[in-house]
Amino acid sequence: MHVLLASSEVTPYSKTGGLADVCSALPKALVRLGCKASIVTPFYKCVREYFEQTGEPLEDLYGVTLSAPVGRETKQAAVRKANLDGVDVYFIVHNDYFERDGLYNYRGVDHGDNCERFCFFSRCVLELIKRLNLDVDVVHANDWQTGLVPVYLDAVYKSRSRFDVTSDFGSVVRPSYDHDPGDAEIFDKIKSVLTIHNLRHQGRFWRGAMDITGLDWSYFTYDKMEFYGQLNLLKSGIVFSDAITTVSPRYAEEIQTEEFGEKLQGVLQLRAQSLRGILNGVDRDEWNPATDPMIAANYDVDTVDEGKPKCKDALQRALNLNPDPNVPLLGVVSRFDVQKGLDLIADVAAELVETQGVQFAILGSGDEELGRRFHLLSKRFPQSFAVRNEFSIALSHQIEAGSDMFLMPSRYEPCGLNQMYSLIYGTLPVVHDVGGLHDSVVNGSDENIASGVGNGFVFYWESADDMRQALAWALYCYRCRKDDWKKMMRAAMRKDHSWDVSARKYVELYEDLLKR
Ligand code: ADP
Ligand code: GLC
C-alpha cells in the first residue's frame, strides 16, 4: 500500500505547529509498519535555507514540470526530492508562491494570495502523481491548505465522481474539464482521506475565489463548497473525501456539536459514518529524555530522580530564575492564541508567585497583548517569571525536561502534543478537559493515584478559578505527597505514546477504504 501524504508543513523542513510534527512522524511510522509512504509539501524559503544549512541531500528532478491551472492562467512548478528516514519527500517549487517569509502570514498579516497558493499546491499534488506515475493507493490531505486535494481527485481526475447524477436522458451530468481518459487508470483506484487538525482554520475566501479553483460554479452550493456565501476549502475537503479523521476521539465527538463545530457541525454530522478520531502519537526519535541531545542530563523512568533535577537547575539558570530545586516550576510552550487559554495563566500568575512561590518558564509567540502581559509579569517577578518570545526547538525541549508541571488550559485542543511530550519527560500536565487533553491525561484524584493511572491534573470548566483549584491540588501533591508524585511521574513516563499505536489505526482505516 502506498500512501501519499500532502501537507503545508513538515518537520524538520517547515513548521508553525503540531501539524508539521504529525506529518513527518506518521509517514515514518507507516514505513515501519511495512507500508510505502511519501510526502508532498511546498518548497518554502525556510525549506531552501534548511537544506543550505544542513547540507542534506536534495535532488532536483530536472525535466519534471508540473502544470496547473490557476484561474485563467496555467502556472508551472518544478519538483525537488529528499528522503526522510525511508520516506520520499517531494517538494513543489514555485518561487512566486513559496519563496517568502512566513508560511501563511508575515508579521501577523495573512498572505493575500493564500487561496491561490494552496489551490495551486493541491492541484500539483495530483499532477505529481500523474507526472511521476506514482502508484498511489491513498492520498492523505491535512487541514484546509490541502482541502481541495480530495475535490480535484473526485471532480477532475477520476472517471466517475461521487456526485455524478444521471439525467433524464441517461447520461452522466458533470461539468466538463479537460479530462484525460488516461487518468482513470491511475486515479480511479485512489482513496482520499482528510485529517482535520484544527477546525477553526477553514480556509474561507471570498466567493469570487471559486474562479481561482478552476472548478465549475455548479460546485458552489451549500452541500459542497459554499459556506455562508464564501468559498470554504476545509468544508470542500470534508464533503469530497472518502474518509475524514481528526486527531483525537474526543475531538471527533466535539466537532459534531454546536459548541466546538465552528458552524461545520451539520456537515460533519452528515458525514459521521466516515469520521473517526485517532489520537496522535509522539515521534520518539525527537522526544525521548534518555537520548535527547538538547537537555542538560539524560534520564529514563529509572533515573528520573537524578536526571530531572539537573535539567531543572540548567533551565532555571538559563532563564535567570532563582535556582532553587524545591520551588515548583511550571512550564508552557505554546502559540499565543485564544485557542490555548493562556490568558487564564496571565490572570492567576501574580497571585501564584506571591502566595505559592511558584516559578514560570514560558516559551511562545503570537498574540501581542498576551505577550505584553507576560512581559510585564517578568519585569515584576524577574526571578520567578520568565518568558521567551521566540521559536526555539532547543528551549522547548529544555522546558519539557526541566519543569515540574506543564500548563495547557486550552479552550479547545484537537489533540495537543505538548502534554504528551510532558508525560514522556515525567513533567505532570495540568490541563483543561477537552479534545486530546481529555484522551491523554488522567486526573490525579486519590482513586486514580492509588490505582496507578493518574498522570496529571485536569480541570473541567474553562475558568481561572477552576484552573487555580486544580493547581492548588497539584502543588499540594508536589510538596506534601512526594511518593504519590513520583508514582504519577512513573505512570506518565511508562505509557506508550509512540506513533506505532496510532499509525496502526490509520493503516486499518486505509485498508477498510481500499476494500470498498
Ligand atoms: P498546535 O499545533 O495547536 O500549536 P500542538 O501541541 O499540537 O499545538 O503542537 C505544538 C508544537 O509546536 C509542539 O511541537 C511545540 O513544541 C511547538 N511549539 C509551539 N510554540 C513553540 C515555540 N515558541 N518554540 C518552539 N516550539 C514551539
Ligand atoms: C493542531 C491542533 C493541535 C494538534 C495538532 C497536530 O495544530 O491545534 O491540537 O495536536 O494540530 O494534529
285-306 tens-digit pLDDT: 899 999 999 999 999 999 999 9
Residue 247 to residue 276: CA distance in whole angstroms = 9
pLDDT at 176 over 60: no
- Between the CA of 333 and the centroid of ligand 1 the distance, in Å, is 6
By most ligand atoms within 8 Å of CB, the mutation choice from 8, 395, 418, 439 for ligand 1 is 418
What is the average pLDDT value for the chain, to the nearest integer? 95
Per-residue pLDDT tens for 129-139? 999 999 999 99
Atom of ligand 2 nearest to the CA of 197: 11
The residue contributing the CA closest to ligand 2 atom 7 is: 18
pLDDT at 73 over 80: yes
Q: What is the pLDDT of residue 512?
A: 98
Q: What is the pLDDT of residue 159?
A: 86
Residue 358 to residue 437: CA distance in whole angstroms = 23
pLDDT band at 244 (very low <50, low <70, confident <90, very high): very high
Domain topology for 304-497: Rossmann fold (3.40.50)
pLDDT at 372 over 80: yes
Atom of ligand 2 nearest to the CA of 21: 6
- Between the CA of 490 and the centroid of ligand 1 the distance, in Å, is 24
Q: What is the pLDDT of residue 427?
A: 98
pLDDT at 461 over 70: yes
DSSP states of 100-139: SSSSSEETTEE-TTHHHHHHHHHHHHHHHHHHTT---SEE
Question: Is the CB of residue 419 below 6 angstroms from any atom belonging to ligand 2?
Answer: no
Per-residue pLDDT tens for 155-171? 999 988 888 766 666 55
Mean pLDDT of 431-455: 98
Contacts of 220 (CB under 8 A, 6+ apart): 207, 210, 226, 231
DSSP 207: G
CB within 6 Å of ligand 1 — which residues? 17-19, 21, 333-335, 363-365, 391-393, 396, 415-418
- Between the CA of 20 and the centroid of ligand 1 the distance, in Å, is 9
pLDDT band at 182 (very low <50, low <70, confident <90, very high): confident
DSSP 433: S
The residue contributing the CA closest to ligand 1 atom 19 is: 334
pLDDT band at 180 (very low <50, low <70, confident <90, very high): confident
Sign of CA dihedral 311, 312, 317, 323: negative
Question: Is the CB of residue 18 below 6 angstroms from any atom belonging to ligand 2?
Answer: yes
Question: Is the CB of residue 198 below 6 angstroms from any atom belonging to ligand 2?
Answer: yes
pLDDT at 411 over 80: yes
Q: Among 3.90.1200.10, 3.40.50.2000, 3.40.50.300, 1.25.40.10, what is the CATH number of 2-163+183-281+500-515?
A: 3.40.50.2000
Atom of ligand 1 nearest to the CA of 364: 23
pLDDT at 309 over 90: yes
Q: What is the pLDDT of residue 401?
A: 98
Say which residue the cell 470554504 belongs to.
232
Question: Is the CB of residue 20 below 6 angstroms from any atom belonging to ligand 2?
Answer: no
pLDDT band at 172 (very low <50, low <70, confident <90, very high): low
Mean pLDDT of 366-395: 96
Per-residue pLDDT tens for 475-502? 999 999 999 999 999 999 999 888 999 9
Atom of ligand 1 nearest to the CA of 419: 6
In single-letter form, the type of residue at position 137 comes to D
Question: Is the CB of residue 416 below 6 angstroms from any atom belonging to ligand 2?
Answer: yes
By most ligand atoms within 8 Å of CB, the mutation choice from 19, 412, 439, 502 for ligand 2 is 19
By most ligand atoms within 8 Å of CB, the mutation choice from 319, 336, 396 for ligand 1 is 396
Q: What is the pLDDT of residue 48?
A: 98
Per-residue pLDDT tens for 350-370? 999 999 999 999 999 999 999
Q: What is the pLDDT of residue 179?
A: 64
Domains 2-163+183-281+500-515 and 304-497 fall in the same CATH topology: yes
Structure pTM? Answer: 0.95
The residue contributing the CA closest to ligand 2 atom 3 is: 416
Q: What is the pLDDT of residue 168?
A: 66
- Between the CA of 20 and the centroid of ligand 2 the distance, in Å, is 9
Longest C-alpha distance within the chain, in Å? Answer: 82
pLDDT at 516 over 90: no
pLDDT band at 175 (very low <50, low <70, confident <90, very high): low
Q: Is 200 left (phi over 0), alpha (psi -120 to 50) or beta?
A: alpha
Domain coordinates in residue numbering, the chain = 2-163+183-281+500-515, 304-497
Question: Is the CB of residue 41 below 6 angstroms from any atom belonging to ligand 2?
Answer: no
Q: What is the pLDDT of residue 285?
A: 87
